Structure 1
Amino acid sequence: MARAQGARSQLAAAFETTYGTAPASGFMQMPFASASLGAEQPLLASELLGYGRDPLAPIKDAVTADGDITVPLDAEAFGFWLKAAFGTPTTTGTTNKTHTFKSGSWALPSMAIEVAMPEIPRFAMYTGCVLDQLRIAMQRSGLLTADIKLVAQGENVATATAAGTPTAYALQRFGHFNGAIKRNGTALGNIVSADLTYANNVERIETIRNDGRIDGADPSIAALTGKIDVRFADTTLMDQALNGTAASLEFSWVISANVSLTITAHAVYLPRPRVEIQGPQGIQASFDWQAAYDSVAGQMCTIVLKNAVASY
């Protein structure tokens, strides 16, 4: 008897033309490390009296479909998730392509995502998936991944795939050693670790339906936040925090001139942190930063992905 194993699982995704309706074709095979995407429907205990001490049968509540997917930061497939987070990019170039994503779009595409366990067989298709959050952590070593939080409309489970034969991206991963951080265009030193989170703050449209599903998922005010842990060596960031001024932060991963990913937060504000001495080792300070709209750039953040993909 076959048993489900994560090593055999597969994930395919495609953008929808109509919200909540999976397309007939166009699915891409997506690399992933883990997935908790799923649907659940709790039971409501009966509150009725007069039938003795034993409770009456429960009834079903509304369906909630959401979850997280951990994916690698790579040169091609990650552009799919960037489109889900920011909308369709502007693409330039001939053989070597430059895809520019900008924050602030009100029109975010929805996705159909199939999580397959072929040996069972179980093929779960999640439709109406909208990207709520995207989080990336930077450090000195380890595997470089991104955590993606999704809000979906519902789940349909079948014994055969509805994604057909997905097209695979060429996998070329970025590593932590490809990463760098700049402040106002100058390399920022003494960084121990950093992370950034882009949130669309998706709002579920919970209307009355006979299937218990949501009617849509709309983005509200976006947010770009993060944290920088620095070895306390100078007062550059502390002075910025005290002055209350903004500076740009650029997070980049570069493999070559034609393969790179750059995330620029144009106006970053820093809080005044507590600087603690916890022993004879080096002293660190943590800055929980927030980004805001920059009138010169015209948006809060810009993401530039360079690869050989024709379009997203």
Structure 2
Amino acid sequence: MARAQGARAQMALAYETIYGTPPVGGFTRMPFASTSLGSEQPLLNSELLGYGRDPLAPIKDAVTADGDVMVPMDAEAFGFWLKAAFGDPITSGVGPYTHEFRSGSWTLPSMSIETGMPEVPRFAMYSGCVLDQLSWQVQRSGLLTATARLVAQGEAIATTTASGTPAELGLRRFGHFNGAISRNGSALGNVVSAEITYANNLDRIETIRSDGKIDGADPSIAALTGRIEVRFADSTLVTQAINGDPCEISFAYVLPSGESLTFTAHAVYLPRPRIEISGPQGVQATFDWQAAKAASPARMCTATLINDIEAY
């Protein structure tokens, strides 16, 4: 008897033309490290009295479909998640291509994502997937991965795949070793670690339906927040925090083969941190920053991906 194993799991993704309707083709195999994407429907306990001490049968509540997908930050597949977060990019070039994803779009694409365990077999198609949050960490070593938090409309289970034969992508992963952080165009030194979180703050459209699903997930006011932990060597960031002035911070990754990913927050505001001396080791300061819409360019952030993919 075959048993499910994570090593055999697979994932395919395609953009939808109609929200909640999986396309008949156009799926792409996506690399992923783990996923909690799933559908659940809780039971409601009976509140009725007069039938003895034993409770009556419960009834079903509304369906909730959501979860996280941990994905590698690479030169090709990561563009699908950037499009889900920001909408259609502005693409230029003739190969390599430059894809510029800009914040502020009111229209986000919906996706159909199928996770499969062929040995069972079990194939789960999640339709109406909209990206709620994209986050990752910057550090000195380790694997560079991002977490995509999704809100889906529903789940359909089958014993055969509905994604056909997905297109394959070349896997060219970025690593922490390929990364750099700059502030206003100059390298930002003494950074120990950093965190970046972009949130669309989706509003679930929870209308009354016979199937218990949502009608959609609309983006509201976006948020770009994070944390920077630095060795306290100078007062540059502290002075900025005290003055209340914004700065531009960029997180860039470049591969020797030429592919690159640059994420730029155009107007970052820093809170005044507490500088603690906790022992004989070096003194560190932590800034829980947040970004806002800049004057020029008139947006909060830009993600630029350069690769050999012609279009997303």
With normalisation by structure 2, the TM-score equals: 0.99
> What is aligned with 2:32?
32
> What is aligned with 1:294?
294
Q: Give the AA of the match of 1:261.
A: L
Q: Give the AA of the match of 2:230.
A: V
CA distance in 2, matches of 1:83, 1:257: 23
Q: Give the AA of the match of 1:172.
A: R
> What is aligned with 1:164?
164
Shift of 1:50: 0.6
Shift of 1:256: 3.8
Q: Give the AA of the match of 2:63.
A: V
> 1:1-32 CA distances to partner (integer Å, 9 max, x unpaired)?
00000000000000000000000000000000
Helix, strand or coil: the match of 1:141?
coil
1:216-227 alignment, distance < 5 Å: 216-227=216-227
1:64-143 alignment, distance < 5 Å: 64-143=64-143
**Are 1:58 and 2:58 an aligned pair?**
yes
Q: Which moved more, 1:62-71 or 1:255-264?
A: 255-264
**Are 1:43 and 2:4 an aligned pair?**
no
> 1:193-214 CA distances to partner (integer Å, 9 max, x unpaired)?
0010000000100000000000
> 1:170-226 CA distances to partner (integer Å, 9 max, x unpaired)?
100000000000000000000000010000000100000000000000000000000
Q: CA RMSD in A?
A: 0.6
Q: Give the AA of the match of 2:250.
A: E
Q: Give the AA of the match of 1:217.
A: A
Q: Give the AA of the match of 1:232.
A: F
CA distance in 2, matches of 1:229, 1:54: 56
Helix, strand or coil: the match of 2:255?
strand
CA distance in 2, matches of 1:277, 1:126: 50
CA distance in 2, matches of 1:121, 1:255: 38
Shift of 1:290: 0.4
Shift of 1:95: 1.8
> What is aligned with 2:244?
244
Helix, strand or coil: the match of 2:288?
strand
Helix, strand or coil: the match of 1:134?
strand
> What is aligned with 1:264?
264
> What is aligned with 1:155?
155
Shift of 1:257: 7.2
Structure 1 runs of 4+ off > 6 angstroms?
none
Q: Give the AA of the match of 1:280.
A: P
Q: Give the AA of the match of 1:45.
A: N
Q: Give the AA of the match of 1:250.
A: S
Shift of 1:258: 3.3
Q: What percentage of aligned pairs have identical amino acids? A: 70
Helix, strand or coil: the match of 1:238?
helix
Q: Give the AA of the match of 1:214.
A: I
Helix, strand or coil: the match of 1:208?
coil
CA distance in 1, matches of 2:126, 2:53: 40
> What is aligned with 2:212?
212
> What is aligned with 2:282?
282
Helix, strand or coil: the match of 1:69?
strand
Helix, strand or coil: the match of 2:112?
strand
CA distance in 2, matches of 1:85, 1:138: 19
Q: Give the AA of the match of 1:254.
A: V
Helix, strand or coil: the match of 2:7?
helix
Q: Give the AA of the match of 2:180.
A: A
Shift of 1:136: 1.2
CA spacing shift, 1:40–1:218, aligned 2, 3 Å: same
CA distance in 1, matches of 2:178, 2:240: 27
> 1:144-172 CA distances to partner (integer Å, 9 max, x unpaired)?
00001000000000000000010011100
Q: Give the AA of the match of 2:145.
A: T
> What is aligned with 1:199?
199
With normalisation by structure 1, the TM-score equals: 0.99
Q: Give the AA of the match of 1:213.
A: K
Q: Give the AA of the match of 2:286.
A: S
CA distance in 1, matches of 2:147, 2:168: 20
- Structure 2 gaps, min length 5: none
CA distance in 2, matches of 1:258, 1:217: 37
Q: What is the aligned length?
A: 312
CA distance in 1, matches of 2:22, 2:291: 35
